[in-house]
Structure 1
Amino acid sequence: MQEEIFTAELFVSRVLRIGVLCSGFVILVGILWFLISGDSGYPGDVYPTTLMEMFEGAVQGKPFAVMLIGLFLLILTPILRVGITVLVFVKAKDSLYIGITSLVFVILIISLLLGKVG
Structure 2
Amino acid sequence: MTEEKEKLLEIELRIGKILRAGVFVSSAVIIIGLVMFVFTGYSGYPGTTYPRGLSEIARGLVEFKAFAWLMAGLFLLILTPILRVLASIFAFAKEGDKMYIFITVMVLAVLVLAIFLGHTGV
Shorter-normalised TM range: over 0.9
The alignment-based identity, stated in percent, is 44
Give 1:48 shift: 1.0
Query: Is the counterpart of residue 88 in structure 1 residue 97 in structure 2?
Result: no
Paired residue type of 1:26: V
Q: Which residue of 2 aligns with 1:47?
A: 50
Is residue 50–residue 116 contact of structure 1 (8 Å, CA) maintained in 2? no
| 5+ long unaligned stretches in structure 2 | none
Pick from 3, 9, 13 the counterpart of residue 10 of structure 1.
13
Query: Is the counterpart of residue 62 in structure 1 residue 65 in structure 2?
Result: yes
Q: How many equivalent residue pairs?
A: 118
The whole-number CA distance in structure 2 between the counterparts of 1:22 and 1:85 is 20
Q: Which residue of 2 aligns with 1:73?
A: 76
The whole-number CA distance in structure 1 between the counterparts of 2:25 and 2:32 is 11
Is residue 49–residue 117 contact of structure 1 (8 Å, CA) maintained in 2? no
The whole-number CA distance in structure 2 between the counterparts of 1:82 and 1:25 is 23
**1:31-42 maps to which residues of 2 (within 5 A)?**
31-42=34-45
User: 3-state DSSP class of the match of 2:30?
Assistant: helix
Specify whether residues 116 and 47 from structure 1 end up closer, same or farther in structure 2 by C-alpha distance, changes over 3 A only: same
| 5+ long unaligned stretches in structure 1 | none
Q: Which residue of 1 aligns with 2:110?
A: 107
Paired residue type of 1:29: I
Q: Which residue of 2 aligns with 1:20?
A: 23
Is residue 41–residue 64 contact of structure 1 (8 Å, CA) maintained in 2? yes
Give 1:117 shift: 8.4
Paired residue type of 1:57: G
- Comparing 51-60 with 103-112, which one deviates more in the overlay? 103-112
Paired residue type of 1:72: F
1:60-79 deviation digits (Å, cap 9, x = unpaired): 11100100000000000001
Give 1:20 shift: 0.1
The whole-number CA distance in structure 1 between the counterparts of 2:26 and 2:117 is 22
